[in-house]
Amino acid sequence: MSLLQKNWSWLIVIVLALFPLIKIFSLISFNFEYPEFDFILFDDYELPEQLAIQKGRDIIPGIEIAIEQTGEWAIQWLMAVLMITPFKIVFGTKSNLFVRQAMGISCGVYVLLHAFFFMYHEGFFAVFSDLPLILSGISAIIIFALTITSNRRAMKLLKRHWKTLHRLVYFAAILTIAHVVLLNKDWELYSTVFCIGLIVRFGPVRQFFQTQNLKLLLLNQFKAIGSLTKIRRLS
């Protein structure tokens, strides 16, 4: 029980990261009987009637779903990692190193799966066939390097170079957003979150939030609301 109490936030990250994989891997089966077919098979997904009319097709190949969903979760985890420090600056919270590492590793796992599914479907050299894919390939290499060095042993081994390496996450985020933009996907939310994070990190803005102590102000506000509620009930 004490282990759960100490690591509850880390466990929440792990559960949140694993939950979408249940749906993704439910589309996958393995072929051990017929060598003339692919070893990994993907079930097709039948769209609801209204969505099928919008999409112009009734069925989506399972491999396309796997590629799209792993890509979406990869960028969402990337944005979540990048917002840890801005959230800490604004609200004065303490960041848990194990939670940060778990979030970074979750991002890395989804990036790895996204790359694997794409190359399994399109082939390895397809990565070099188009600019959006080249950008995503460079971003994937950076994120994979950050994932395998997200541990204390790597921090001790790399020493001051560890921070320099992990600052490349911003470059990876820019490449990832550019990849999404060039593919004509929904990019507005991701770019907005990324820009907000950069603004909060900017020196004068950071100092403003650190002096305001918004966490204390919010707590006092909630206490005031609670006191008013009690007074109204008594009256």
DSSP state of 105: H
| Cross-strand pairs, 83 | none
Cα distances (angstroms) measured from residue 28 to each of 39, 80, 197: 10, 28, 37
pTM value is: 0.84
Contact 143, 78 (CB under 8 A): yes
Contact 129, 175 (CB under 8 A): no
Q: Hey, what amino acid is at 221?
A: Q
- The per-residue pLDDT string of the chain (235 residues; one tens digit each, 9 = 90 and over) reads 555 556 677 788 888 999 999 989 988 988 888 887 788 888 888 877 776 777 777 888 889 999 999 999 999 999 999 999 888 887 777 777 788 888 999 999 999 999 999 999 999 999 999 999 999 999 999 999 999 998 888 888 988 898 899 999 999 999 999 999 999 888 889 999 999 999 988 888 888 777 766 555 555 565 555 555 555 555 5
Pull the structure tokens for residue 185: 């996907």
Contact 50, 139 (CB under 8 A): no
DSSP string, 14-78: HHHHHHHHHHHHTTEEE-SS-TTS-SEEE--EEPPHHHHHHHT-SEE-HHHHHHHHHHHHHHHHH
